[in-house]
Structure 1
């Protein structure tokens, strides 16, 4: 009896300690949640700071484009300077200068047509490298990548001589061909990784039903890989729109693109900063609009295949 009473007393004495330990764990949970929220708030604040640092040059360019040349050239620049549209009037030719419409149309034509050509060539190549893999397909991929290792400036002189002898100098279709060849290796690499995520069972089912390769590409593969294709198209469009060296050397007046037109604001008289900022903002708008329009497709496409 004495031993049993002692055991019960010992167990009853231990129970409050267990409850205290449970209470202690319960008290630690709010602290853990509070520290997690604090850490999340700090990371969110840091992300906003980094985003503002990246956006600061763009915001400064927008503000400078609405200043006069005298206010834009002050050092340090004045934030409270009066706003004006003189830079935009000069860019659009309201003051009697050159108008940018032909240059913008040339850039749009070269970028859109070359992007369509790149997709038409890259999708079958990516199909052969990811789904119906050819022999030594990894060597083929590295061959495509090796074509990007030659600096553009190393091949600009032969291209200039070729364009001069064949009559393609100052021709927009020469830029279409060059932009297509320039973006095709990147497009093949991107599309190959996207098409590798397409279930093979769907393709086999379509082939059993009698579908040919064009039908499989358009009706089976394209809807599934649409985010990746959109991301590839957007990146090719941006690269073509922003390209300067080919357009600067191989075009003159007829096939002048928007980046080449932008360099006309840098003259021997000096740098017209407000006009350059206004022109840069207008020329960047198509790319920004395309990026915002395909933002969800771009994020989904670039992350496609990242998580297995």
Structure 2
């Protein structure tokens, strides 16, 4: 079983490894058919993308992703707690409403959204992406965290109330630490969704607020696809998600299995 696990890990990681290798190839080696594992590594692609201002795009992605993830958690976690722990009228309808906001394709609202942001002067602005990414991730946070809160035994809550703990203290000092793996899983998924988002970013930004996915797409030109340069940008773009996933893998696995029973 351990050998099979390593084989599957290599198979799944191979595309990422190939991308990392392509980033150190020349454009000629990157498009060579059949592909070759033997090539002369070069740092020219990374020098060129650094000169293209990749640091600014990376910074925009970091700012808008971290802030939108944080605010999605601040809004979604208390809502999920209320839906899971208290008997509310039409709680199922409220939960369905949160999820129904994900049903409408973004392409269906991009034109009125563009006109609205143009009217309030938020086009090509990080504030626009912050609000949109927060709204995009709140339903995800509510849905996932509700499942995790459902896993908390009611006896724990009742014991805390018998001991005189207020609802606020029970939430912060008892319930929230119990669902920490689920909270980390939810935060990581929200981070990845915001970090990888392309359609809104490419439609509503130009230069000042463009993110890493938008910058990556700039290497798709009428002259062709610059595979080596795109791979270099993509290699930089995947670093935050890979590092977060690596350092939180234990909590991530626990969180994913924690909410798998109750919905």
Scaled by the length of structure 1, what TM-score is found? 0.81
TM superposition shift of 1:252: 1.3
Deviations 1:255-278 (A, max 9, x none): 111111111112222211111111
Q: Structure 1 stretches of 5 or more lacking a match?
A: 1-42
5+ residue gaps, structure 2: none
CA RMSD, Structure 1 to Structure 2 (Å): 1.7
Distance 1:245 1:302 in 2: 28
Alpha-carbon shift at residue 50 of structure 1 (Å): 3.4
Deviations 1:134-156 (A, max 9, x none): 11222222121111110011111
Give deviations 1:144-190, integer Å, cap 9, x for gaps.
11111100111111110000001111110111110111111111110
Could you tell me which residue of structure 2 aligns to residue 55 of structure 1?
13
Correspondence for 1:33: none
In the alignment, what sits opposite 2:75?
121
Does the Cα contact within 8 Å between 2:144 and 2:259 map onto a contact in 1? no
Does 2:67 correspond to 1:109? no
- Counterpart of 1:92 in 2: which secondary structure? helix
- The 5 Å alignment of 1:214-225 reads 214-225=168-179
Q: Cα 1:307–1:169, aligned 2, differ >3 Å: closer, same or farther? A: closer
Task: State the match for 1:31 in structure 2.
Answer: none
Query: What is the rounded CA distance, in whole Å, between the counterparts of 1:276 and 1:61 in structure 2?
Result: 9
Match of 1:178 in 2: 132
Task: Describe how 1:178-257 pairs up with structure 2 within 5 A.
Answer: 178-257=132-211
Alignment match of 1:85 (pick from 19, 43, 47): 43
For 2:109, what is the secondary structure of its paired residue?
helix
Structure with higher RCO (Cα < 8 A, 6+ apart):
2
Greater C-alpha Rg = 1
